[in-house]
A = this chain, B = another copy of it.
Amino acid sequence: MGKEIERKFLVKEGAWQPKDKGTTIRQGYLSSVKERVVRVRTKGEKAFITIKGITKGISRSEFEYQIPVEDADPLLTNLCEQPLIEKTRYKEVCGNHTWEIDVFFGSNLGLIVAEVELKDETELLELPNWVGEEVSSDPRYFNSNLIQNPYEKWGRG
């Protein structure tokens, strides 16, 4: 019963440039409480509904279903909590790991976050030179929180 560990970092301004056009992601939430997150997401030409709960013991806590992409637009625009999260996702291979770099736009414009999955907490991770501060455990960066409190509203000094 493996459990994947995700680490999340800010990307240093100006230190990273996209190498391709990436994949556009548009997502919203039908429920954003931590006990039952229900996310609608378009990713390129596909659409998904994903349900995440709190992991209890060995119970599976994530369920994902592909849905017709023509349903996703009215779900996102009319039903989901607003504002939506809009970002372009890029992938970068560095050493043994593939990083996902999310460049946000819309109400989170200016935020760039890089995520990597590790098999366990002790796995060695080579940090690319464009990786900045680690924000893995900062709840402000949870996607579900970027709706209630988008990046454009943060007081930054």
Q: Interface 1/0s, chain A 42-77, versus B by CB < 8 A? A: 000000010101001001110101010001001100
Q: Given contacts A31-B30, A31-B31, A65-B67, are A60 and B38 in contact (CB under 8 A)? A: no
| Residue contact A78 to B53, C-beta cutoff 8 Å | yes
- The answer to whether A61 touches B78 (Cβ under 8 A) is yes
Taken together, the copies of this chain in the complex come to 2
CB of A119 closer than 8 Å to a CB of B: no
Bound-complex Cα distance A65 to B51 (A): 13
Q: Which of A30, A60, A74 is the most central at the interface, judged by chain B CB atoms within 10 Å of its CB?
A: A30
B75 touches A59 (CB 8 A): no
Q: Contact between B49 and A75 (Cβ–Cβ < 8 Å)?
A: no
Residues of B within 8 A of A31 (CB): 30-31, 36, 38
A69–B129 CA distance with the chains assembled, in angstroms: 47
Residues of chain B within 8 A of A60, CB atoms compared: 74
Partner of A79, one of B49, B51, B67, B75: B51
State whether the Cβ of A80 lies closer than 8 Å to any Cβ in chain B.
Answer: yes
Whether B38 contacts A59 by the Cβ 8 Å rule is no
Q: List, in ascending order, chain B residues with CB within 8 A of A13's CB.
A: none
Contact indicator A78/B59 (Cβ below 8 Å) = yes
Q: Is A35's beta carbon under 8 Å from chain B?
A: yes
Contacts of A61 in B (CB 8 A): 78-79
Q: Which residues of A contact B (CB under 8 A)?
A: 30-31, 35-36, 38, 49, 51, 53, 56, 59-61, 63, 65, 67, 71, 74-75, 78-81
